[in-house]
Amino acid sequence: MVTENRYEPKDLEPKWQKRWEKENLFKVKEDSKKKKFYLLEMLPYPSGLIHMGHVRNYVIGDVAARYKMMQGFNVLHPMGWDAFGLPAENAAIERKIHPAKWTGDNINYMRAQLKKLGISYDWDREFATCDPAYYRWEQLIFVKMFEKGQAYKKTSLVNWCPGCQTVLANEQVENGFCWRCSSQVAQQTMSQWFFKITQYADELLKDVDEKLPGWPERVRIMQRDWIGKSEGASIDFKIDGSDEKIRIFTTRPDTLFGATFMSLACEHPMVKELAKKNGKEREIGEFAERTAKIDRDARLAGNYEKDGVFTGAYCINPVTGSKMPIYAANFVLMDYGTGAVMAVPTHDQRDFEFAKKYKLPLKVVIQPKETKLSENTMTEAYEGEGTLVNSCEFDGLLSTDAIKKISSYLAKKGIGGPAVSFKLKDWCLSRQRYWGAPIPIIYCDKCGTVPVPEKDLPVILPHDVEFTGKGGSPLSKVESFVNVKCPKCKGAAKRETDTMDTFVESSWYMFRYASPHYEKAPVEKKVVDYWLPVDQYIGGIEHAVGHLIYCRFFTKVMRDLGMLSFDEPVKNLMTQGMVIKDGSKMSKSKGNIVTCDDMVTKYGADTVRLFSLFAAPPEKDLDWNDQGIEGMHRFLLRVWRFVDSWLSLAKKTEGDAELSRMTHKTIKKVTEDIERYHFNTAIAAIMEFVNYLYQIGPEKTSKDAVESLIMIISPFAPHAAEDLWETTGNKTSTLKKPWPAFDPKMIVEDQMTIVIQVNGKLRDQINVPVDMGEDEIKTMAQKTEKARQHIEGKAIRKVIYVPKKLVNIVV
RNA sequence: GCGAGGGUGGCGGAACGGCAGACGCGCUAGCCUCAGGAGCUAGUGGAGUCAAAUCCAUAGGGGUUCAAAUCCCCUCCCUCGCACCA
């Protein structure tokens, strides 16, 4: 085979990228006549580097996008930049580059990289979230939320990251450490801005079950757990010798008669009060301090004991009237329920351990079916269901029924009632950092907290700021920014100097892509109604509870503001696996990064694209290995050479039936595999087809086979495909041609291979005409020599025939 | 601890009740070549054999079935998420 036309990705890839751009191939408009498909990959943070993890994400999306285009869909495939965030500010501190410059440079570099990969983005829709033209709308949404009470400021315990010198949302704390800098996060009482995501807790939970069938079960479970709804009751306990009450939450009101003491979180406001009253301030203060310091690791390992201090006070069990000592306990969390727990040591293991340690009374109120519990002999709490005892009028009830009966009894008596509790907390969105969207709020001594009026938006982030990374928000030192007139009374006032969490920007960007240049509102209703929701969203699993809950929340907020008319932003979600090298995730600190730039320079974009898809199915982690990519390059060369030699021969050769059968079989397999995102096996099928073509040789290959090959490889290796497509005499892009259809009739064979088993073991196979009857096949099967060897001298008990597949002879 | 997902050749992975190991990497031999980290051909789970036949093999054990990597039960191991959630 003489190769004239060499495969030179260095030349042909830029050539096609330019041509696509010139022909506006990826630019889309609303078109009511065409079915739309919105395909989105999670927008990147412009860190300045595109590594194979990014590449994989975007290539998975690009194959799907190109495939959908070829199927005739109107495909929206945008790209932008999640451009606010701490690394930019750190670069400013360390290298004296302004965050805007650092971010802008990175964006330019990364955009060039993505273009070199040939991803089918509509670049006209690109935006960076740090652009005032973007965040002005975010500020507007904030103002609207403020007006509805959905954005509010409160003083509470928040997560403080000493490394980043800012507060963090719960979703940004991983095992007690900062998601970004890994510093240990501390709890501090501070005044911060919150979004009332808990207002939507029920809907967010309900819709996980009802409206997200296209999401991976794993993500749905994580969201369900994160929202963490528990149903039960709240109950008021009067404090002995006082009019004050402590409200508790429990999922087990059926055990109320067994409550013998009460446990409070150290931070519970009543703890301080009671301590003061009973002269225990020092003792309890020390205990609280100790508890706050408990090393997160010890907590995780579970190797520290239940601990507590008696406050000196008692409360009254509202149904038994008995006095219950009130403890401050290390295992009660302030941010769940009410921070107060009624302790039922017989039916809760934690309470049991605590009661044993402090010699507190036990009282059995639930008897299980099988055994009989006794306070004196129990070695652990019984937490299961059973029949109520020692519970007055409720005796004899099943615990499941008693939960309802006691709850309504409490409600009737006005001392509690049914209640639900969520693990989900309101989203703390204020950050004491510079590089973020300013919170559009003004503080006036006279008028209080005043939102910036819509006509004054955006509140532009000032450019000239000093960066130290310490001592509060850099904005607070910019007097020209801080000092303003109150929009209401025109008196002297001060701006809020905190900025918004970067996750706010990414909570609604997918809507802005529909009309990125619209100047009257965050979204243009008509357009957003056409494109949204996102049909296919692709990104990393690490966003399962952060970003993916926030954007669902924003969808509901914006819907209720009349901006959107759907409930969920994303129909189908695919979470792709990480790219692993040398046993760990690619990261700068580990020094195991393979950059897109290096690989594209060395092998060309098509090779990189193919390999990142071939090495593993999209959801699984991908082990990067340098030899694998060589193999991919060889495969592309093989395709190239084959088409080339076919062209230099008699290129009009008609193929035989076997060739068209193979062609259509391959189209079928590749189509089905792309549909289910099994790109690795789709590529394998193309390889098999190419191997087959080499076997029969180019002289026996038909134009139809060659063109089909080029078409089915085009979503994966678009540059090479376009070039080959052109050299085979086609004028328009592969993208303008419909995806090849397979003809089921062409795939039907006139012979079929029947496997012969004896007792389930493979012994032989026969080729028979497809129309041969069952009985005939069975008879034939028993006659083959190998089958006879294994049947001989034994009685045949049964012969099983699986149509078109096998015969199993049971002896 | 709870929840989810996994465990298949030297490696990445196919098959997901019906021929285990598709496809690729790596490796071996041969061809071609001045040469090759190029290309081509053949081979490549283990035992066995000149070659076969045959037997064994999908973490381990048991079960269902004519037939199990696939379904069920138990055990072990790995990964991820949550973690004193009352």
Judged against a pLDDT cut of 80, whether residue A589 lies above it is answered with no
- Quickly state the pLDDT bin for A306 (edges 50, 70, 90): confident
Q: What is the dihedral of CA A213, A219, A221, A226, to 10 degrees?
A: -130
- Per-residue pLDDT tens for A642-651? 998 888 876 6
H helices within A441-546, ranges in order? 479-482, 502-505, 509-512, 525-531
Beta strands A186-195 and A427-428, pairing class: antiparallel
As a rounded value in angstroms, the CA-to-C1' distance for A791 and B41 is 39
Mean pLDDT over all residues of chain A? 91
Rg of chain A (C-alpha set): 34
As a rounded value in angstroms, the CA-to-C1' distance for A421 and B85 is 9
DSSP code per residue over A579-621: EEETTEE--TTTT---BHHHHHHHH-HHHHHHHHHHSS-TTS-
DSSP H or E stretch at residue A430: strand A430-431
Which value does ipTM take for this structure? 0.94
- Per-residue pLDDT tens for A762-791? 888 888 888 888 888 888 888 888 888 888
Q: Which two tokens stand for residue A508?
A: 């609604």
> What is d(CA A269, CA A291) in angstroms, rounded to the nearest whole number?
16
- Quickly state the pLDDT bin for A71 (edges 50, 70, 90): very high
> What is d(CA A609, CA A779) in angstroms, rounded to the nearest whole number?
51
Which of the two residues, A590 and A312, has the higher pLDDT score? Answer: A312
What are the residues whose beta carbons fall under 8 Å from the beta carbon of A476, sequence distance 6 or more? A482, A497
Work out the angle at residue A322's Cα, subtended by the Cα atoms of residues A316 and A324, and round it to the nearest 5 degrees: 60
As a rounded value in angstroms, the CA-to-C1' distance for A760 and B47 is 22
Contact A530, A515 (CB under 8 A): no
- Per-residue pLDDT tens for A106-152? 999 999 999 999 999 999 999 999 999 999 999 999 999 999 999 99
As a rounded value in angstroms, the CA-to-C1' distance for A753 and B18 is 13
- Per-residue pLDDT tens for A141-182? 999 999 999 999 999 888 998 888 889 888 888 888 888 888
- The residue that minimises its CA distance to C1' of B23 is A684
A86, exposed or middle or buried, with CB in 10 Å at 0-12, 13-18, 19+?
Answer: buried
Nearest CA among A516, A608, A611, A508 for reference residue A559? A508
Give the per-residue pLDDT at A652: 67
Give the per-residue pLDDT at A654: 77
Nucleotide closest to A627 measured between CA and C1':
B25
Write b or e for each residue in A73-85: b if 16 or more Cβ atoms lie within 10 A of its Cβ, otherwise e: bbbbbbbbbbbbb
Nearest CA among A755, A756, A655, A749 for reference residue A708? A655
Judged against a pLDDT cut of 70, whether residue A4 lies above it is answered with no
- Per-residue pLDDT tens for A466-486? 887 776 788 998 999 999 999
CA distances from A666 to A593, A632, A688, A689, A804 (A): 36, 19, 9, 7, 20
Give the per-residue pLDDT at A2: 38
- Quickly state the pLDDT bin for A388 (edges 50, 70, 90): very high
Judged by DSSP in three states, A138 sits in: helix
> What is d(CA A322, CA A305) in angstroms, rounded to the nearest whole number?
28
- The residue that minimises its CA distance to C1' of B68 is A760
- Quickly state the pLDDT bin for A91 (edges 50, 70, 90): confident
Contact A448, A489 (CB under 8 A): no
Give the per-residue pLDDT at A675: 94
Give the per-residue pLDDT at A3: 41
Nearest CA among A733, A661, A721, A671 for reference residue A696? A661
Q: To the nearest whole percent, how much of chain A has pLDDT over 70?
A: 97
In this structure, the number of other CB atoms found within 10 A of the CB of residue A226 comes to: 20
Strands (E), A63-185: 74-76, 151-161, 166-168, 173-174, 177-178
When pLDDT is averaged across residues A744-772 and rounded to a whole number, the result is 83
- Quickly state the pLDDT bin for A1 (edges 50, 70, 90): very low
Judged against a pLDDT cut of 70, whether residue A81 lies above it is answered with yes
- Per-residue pLDDT tens for A692-743? 999 888 888 999 999 999 999 999 999 999 999 999 889 899 999 999 998 8
User: A325 — phi, psi (to 5°)?
Assistant: -65, 145
- Per-residue pLDDT tens for A222-270? 999 999 999 999 999 999 999 999 999 999 999 999 999 999 999 899 9
Give the per-residue pLDDT at A811: 81
CA distances from A658 to A15, A95, A643, A645, A700 (A): 37, 65, 19, 21, 11
> What is d(CA A702, CA A505) in angstroms, rounded to the nearest whole number?
53
Judged against a pLDDT cut of 90, whether residue A183 lies above it is answered with no
Give the per-residue pLDDT at A171: 87
- Per-residue pLDDT tens for A522-551? 999 999 999 999 999 999 988 999 999 999
As a rounded value in angstroms, the CA-to-C1' distance for A376 and B51 is 79
- The residue that minimises its CA distance to C1' of B40 is A1
Give the per-residue pLDDT at A744: 83
Give the per-residue pLDDT at A301: 56
> What is d(CA A684, CA A662) in angstroms, rounded to the nearest whole number?
14
Give the per-residue pLDDT at A249: 96
Strand B bases near protein CB (under 7 Å) are 3-5, 11-15, 18-20, 22-26, 38-41, 53-55, 66-68, 80-86
Nucleotide closest to A294 measured between CA and C1':
B84
User: A322 — phi, psi (to 5°)?
Assistant: -80, 155
What are the residues whose beta carbons fall under 8 Å from the beta carbon of A646, sequence distance 6 or more? A698, A701, A706
As a rounded value in angstroms, the CA-to-C1' distance for A624 and B55 is 38
As a rounded value in angstroms, the CA-to-C1' distance for A55 and B64 is 46
Q: Which two tokens stand for residue A134?
A: 């973007």
Contact A605, A613 (CB under 8 A): no
Give the per-residue pLDDT at A751: 79
Give the per-residue pLDDT at A300: 57
- The residue that minimises its CA distance to C1' of B15 is A681
- The residue that minimises its CA distance to C1' of B12 is A615
Give the per-residue pLDDT at A296: 57
